């Protein structure tokens, strides 16, 4: 299962053609949202102060996704450009987001489907030293084994960079 490196992710965002597309990719990567979760966000679901988004996850349950400052700036820029929102965050459908991702994939030569960004979210957090239980909660996975599958790309060298001796 492919995931992107930090550098590849930056490249994909740079190659996006407009603010909306950059915001979508940034939000995917920053939150690990599933396509349906991202496509259905209303502006009222966003807590700008705490950088949280209320989402409806599998099984019809409500949960939250956290996002960073860069994504916040892209979202704010997008909303300043987009006027006819009727409460919706996007002017693009579920299928439109899939097409956007396919076009970015063709343009960059990288896997850019929504699930790749979900795997990227998990693997980058793991490479930064976030443990699987926290990744599970941040990514709203029901199963810890799924997180472990998604973070299988973490190598010994990645873990070694995080290591510090217990006894010195």
Into how many domains does the chain fold? Answer: 1
Does the CA dihedral 56-57-62-63 come out positive or negative?
negative
Angle between helices 19-31 and 6-15 (to 10 degrees): 160
CA distance 34 to 113: 11
75 lies in a domain? Answer: yes
The full DSSP string for 102-157 is HHHHHHHSS--SHHHHHHHHHHHHHHTT--HHHHHHHHT-S-HHHHHHHTTT--HH
By residue range, what is the domain housing residue 13?
Answer: 6-162
The single residue listed with the structure tokens 């949280």 is 52
Q: What is the CA radius of gyration of the chain?
A: 16
**How confident is the model at residue 168, as a pLDDT?**
64
1 lies in a domain? Answer: no
Q: State the average pLDDT over residues 17-31.
A: 97
Q: Is the pLDDT of residue 162 over 70?
A: no
Neighbour order of strands in the sheet with 52-57: 46-47, 52-57, 61-66
33 lies in a domain? Answer: yes
Q: What is the CATH number of the domain that holds 64?
A: 1.10.443.10
The single residue listed with the structure tokens 């740079």 is 14
Which residue did the predictor score with more confidence, 159 or 3? 3
- Tell me the percentage of the chain whose pLDDT exceeds 70: 91
28 lies in a domain? Answer: yes
Q: Compute the residue count for the chain.
A: 168
167 lies in a domain? Answer: no
Q: What is the pTM of this model?
A: 0.88
155 lies in a domain? Answer: yes
129 lies in a domain? Answer: yes
168 lies in a domain? Answer: no
| Mean pLDDT rounded to a whole number for the chain | 89
CA distances for 161 relative to 8, 80, 124, 125, 126, angstroms: 20, 41, 14, 14, 12
């Amino acid at each position: 299962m492919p995931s992107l490196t930090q550098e590849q992710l930056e490249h994909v965002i740079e190659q996006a053609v407009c603010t909306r597309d950059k915001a979508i990719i940034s939000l995917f990567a920053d939150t690990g949202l599933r396509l349906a979760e991202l496509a259905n966000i209303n502006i009222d679901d966003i807590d700008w102060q705490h950088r949280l988004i209320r989402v409806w996850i599998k099984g019809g349950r409500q949960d939250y996704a956290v996002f960073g400052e860069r994504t916040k700036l892209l979202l704010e820029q997008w909303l300043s450009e987009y006027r006819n929102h009727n409460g919706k965050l996007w002017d693009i459908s579920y299928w439109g987001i899939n097409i956007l991702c396919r076009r970015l994939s063709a343009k960059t030569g990288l896997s850019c489907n929504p699930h790749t960004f979900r795997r990227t979210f998990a693997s980058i957090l793991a490479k930064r030293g976030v443990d699987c239980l926290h990744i599970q909660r941040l990514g709203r996975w029901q199963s810890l084994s799924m997180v472990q599958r998604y973070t299988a790309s973490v190598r010994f060298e990645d873990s070694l960079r995080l290591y510090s001796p217990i006894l010195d």
